[in-house]
Structure 1
Amino acid sequence: MTQTASRIDVRTIAPRERHPLIFSTFNGLAAGQTLELVNDHDPRPLYYQFNAQMPGQFSWEYLEHGPDVFRVAITRTQAGPAAESGSCCGGGCGG
């Protein structure tokens, strides 16, 4: 059973601040905890970024799939090196 630990609505956050906030929040989750992300567009590119940096460490489930609001549950399935390093996204997210 997963536990929602945090909810981030990025619709009101400056684009350059979004990915660093999402990754730092996710890195603070324990295994089994979930971050709920709310956005005004499909965050599919973020999924690919998670998959490249944290393969096997998360699950991704759409709770609402547009067209105006997208909600995604990102659950930490296991701790990993990304959580220990404190790196949000290697500088590739503009942060």
Structure 2
Amino acid sequence: MTQDAAETTETTETTETTEGCACGGGGCGTPQPAPDVDRGERTELTGTGLASPASASHPGDLDVREIPHEHRHARVIGQVTSLVPGEAVVIAAPHAPERLLAEIDADVSGDFAFEYLQRGPELWRVAVSRTTCC
């Protein structure tokens, strides 16, 4: 992270430290800075854009439009599960992924923050950041 990004990034409060945590992110009780998703601090995945700029995903986005519908949620949840505190992935979807975000919140261990980076009409982009792992 650059010095400028470090100065402007807020930390997120976390729960008590859990011994033996295997998250690899410094432990559950260690405050982690929120990732600066516009500077590429996220899990990098290959995504291809579509022809129109309004509907084009950004490099590194997990563009679910390229994943068969029946596999989308499992693929995103697998990617989100692999994040350690302080990491994020940006999901690009053809609609607001409210059901998917609720599923992540309910079914994946740890705490997450969701930030809409773009709200349609052709493309929604949401940053999913892991704040704690357990």
Identify whether the pair has TM-score above 0.5, normalized to the shorter chain: yes
- Structure number with higher helix proportion: 1
Provide structure 1 residue ranges, at least 5 long, that are not aligned to the other structure.
81-95
Asked if 1:70 corresponds to 2:124, the answer is yes
Provide structure 2 residue ranges, at least 5 long, that are not aligned to the other structure.
1-33, 36-40, 45-60
Bigger relative contact order (CA 8 A; separation at least 6): 1
Asked if 1:24 corresponds to 2:78, the answer is yes
- Structure number with higher strand proportion: 1
Paired position in structure 2 for 1:12: 66
Q: TM-score, normalised by structure 2?
A: 0.55
> How much is the aligned-residue C-alpha RMSD, in angstroms?
1.5
Q: TM-score, normalised by structure 1?
A: 0.76
How many residue pairs get aligned? The number is 80
Segments of 4+ moved more than 4 angstroms: none
Deviations 1:20-78 (A, max 9, x none): 11011111111010010001111011111122224761000000000100000000011
Asked if 1:38 corresponds to 2:92, the answer is yes
Q: Is the 8 A contact 2:114 2:129 kept in 1?
A: yes
- 1:62 and 1:30 map into 2 onto residues whose CA distance is 20
